[in-house]
Chain A
Amino acid sequence: MERQTGTDRVKRGLAEMLRGGVIMDVVTPEQAKIAEDAGAVAVMALERVPADIRRDGGVARMSDPAMVEGIKEAVTVPVMAKARIGHFAEAQILEALGVDYVDESEVLTPADEAHHIDKWAFTVPFVCGATNLGEALRRISEGAAMIRSKGEAGTGNIVEAVRHLRSILGDIRKITQADPAEVYAWAKELRAPVSLVQELHDTGRLPVPLFCAGGIATPADASLVMQLGAEAVFVGSGIFKSEDPAVRAKAIVEATAHFRDPHIVAKVSRGLGQPMKGQDIAELDVKLAERGW
């Protein structure tokens, strides 16, 4: 029997299996176990959560392979890991380690200020961040099998995630109403391939799943972005920078699965302890979402 690995269907397929779930940032095998115990559909292995990257400054790079391997050993759910934008050698290492998804992430310090990774060259699938539809389509044209709206990582502030989701989904809604001539103008305006804009026009949706990241700190935040049209959520600092990570993680899993039912979201939101403190976007020195081209 002939087997084909690394096809579009196989890469996008894993993203489809994660729908309705929560992907949690973890920095140790112990945290990975807490995340899996809480019902995470996958974990993101990294050395520092975005809030700490923000606080510490310096260059943020791919994690130590030993640390990624430790987390792979600790859990049975899929393990993702981050490579710097454009750093295809880091991505090759992560593929060699057998991670299930590579996040070409603006949370790390970019390695290339003009080019993203050629993701078609890999068997492992990639997720990339986007602040608007043009960015999302450019990443898909480079081979991304999942898009996550960027939000502003490490802030515990949902406002940027909402802005990015509304921008992406709002433009998709407009394009479905465009006439054939307008499709070309949209492609120019978005700096995206006409073929992908045409496909959006015809199907009304991105060809890959759209998840949401950056600033989710409460069950209500998860419900908000799911109702806006996200298909799953990434939670970074929001869990392990809160007072009681295990309880909060489980509550966010429940709220994401039952986002349409405010009675369930209310029930799981009770008595979670303090959320991460969070930051006003206007006070930030560095906006991570601005990284990516």
Chain B
Amino acid sequence: MAAKVGILALQGDVSEHAQALADLGADAVGVHTADDLAAIDGLILPGGESTTISKLLESSGLFEAVASRLADGMPAFGTCAGMILLASEVLDGRPDQRSFGVIDLSVRRNAFGRQVDSFEAEVDVEGVGSVPAVFIRAPYVERAGEGVDVLARVDGHPVLCRQGPVLAAAFHPELSGDLRLHELFLREVT
């Protein structure tokens, strides 16, 4: 049976991730409630507004349910807001903002600046090559823990990291049409 990938569908660019998964022939499902988690083998946390998604995770009762699946080793891939939600520490966040802490990173929100500073660039990814990357009010990693592999950097700051089954990008591979990072994640799921 083919692996099923969930996309956290509370807010953000869910449809771009769904398109990337469809292009790779993967079976994708939107996750709105805790019940949707039962059927999935991996979870994508999309781009969006991390403070909003954090609140919606809380009010929908999804936070604890997702946290428990992640603790059991479910593979996860977070992009931008998704990276923030997976990280162990959020800098410049709201005091009530929660994150899952399944990748040992200190991530600073909006570290690359406001929207006028948002940019596209080619980024060298270890083991993959040069990939087009879209950074939107993007965070970067200020501290990566010992168990974390840093796969790409911009200005010396880690922007793509992996720890065990968890992959986190400060940028949006789902907006560039390049499927290699989604492919990298799917290898973890299947």
**Given known contacts A14-B115, A41-B48, A258 and B11 CB-to-CB distance under 8 angstroms:** no
Q: How large is the interface on A (under 10, 10 to 19, 20 to 34, 35 or more residues)?
A: 35 or more
Contact B11 A14 (CB under 8 A): no
B21 at the interface (CB under 8 A from A): no
Residues of A within 8 A of B16 (CB): 16
Within 8 A of B (CB), among A116-137: 123-125
Contact A13 B172 (CB under 8 A): yes
Residues of B within 8 A of A98 (CB): 114, 116
Q: How large is the interface on B (under 10, 10 to 19, 20 to 34, 35 or more residues)?
A: 35 or more
Q: How distant is the Cα of A4 from the Cα of B117 in the complex, in angstroms?
A: 9
Contact B49 A21 (CB under 8 A): yes
A187 at the interface (CB under 8 A from B): no
A39 at the interface (CB under 8 A from B): yes
**Given known contacts A36-B94, A77-B51, A100-B137, A20 and B14 CB-to-CB distance under 8 angstroms:** yes
Binary contact track A20-42/B, C-beta < 8 Å → 1, others 0: 11000000000000001001111
Binary contact track A100-115/B, C-beta < 8 Å → 1, others 0: 1100000000000000
Contact B137 A14 (CB under 8 A): yes
A76 at the interface (CB under 8 A from B): yes
Choose one: A1, A14, A76; the contact of B118 (CB below 8 Å). A14
Q: How distant is the Cα of A42 from the Cα of B9 in the complex, in angstroms?
A: 18
- Chain A interface, DSSP helix/strand/loop, else mixed: loop
B110 at the interface (CB under 8 A from A): yes
**Given known contacts A14-B115, A21-B11, A253 and B32 CB-to-CB distance under 8 angstroms:** no
**Given known contacts A17-B12, A257-B10, A257-B11, A10 and B49 CB-to-CB distance under 8 angstroms:** no
Within 8 A of A (CB), among B45-101: 47-49, 51-52, 55-56, 59-60, 80-81, 92-94
- Choose among B16, B51, B52 the residue with the greatest number of A CB atoms under 10 Å from its CB: B52
Residues of A within 8 A of B41 (CB): none
> Which residues on B are within 8 Å of A, measured CB to CB?
9-16, 32, 47-49, 51-52, 55-56, 59-60, 80-81, 92-94, 109-110, 114-123, 134-137, 154, 172, 175-176
Q: A16-B16, A76-B110 are in contact. List 6 more A-B contacts (CB 8 A).
A: A4-B121, A19-B13, A19-B14, A39-B51, A41-B52, A98-B116
> Which residues on A are within 8 Å of B, measured CB to CB?
1-7, 9-10, 13-14, 16-21, 36, 39-42, 76-78, 95, 98-101, 123-125, 253-254, 257-258, 260-261
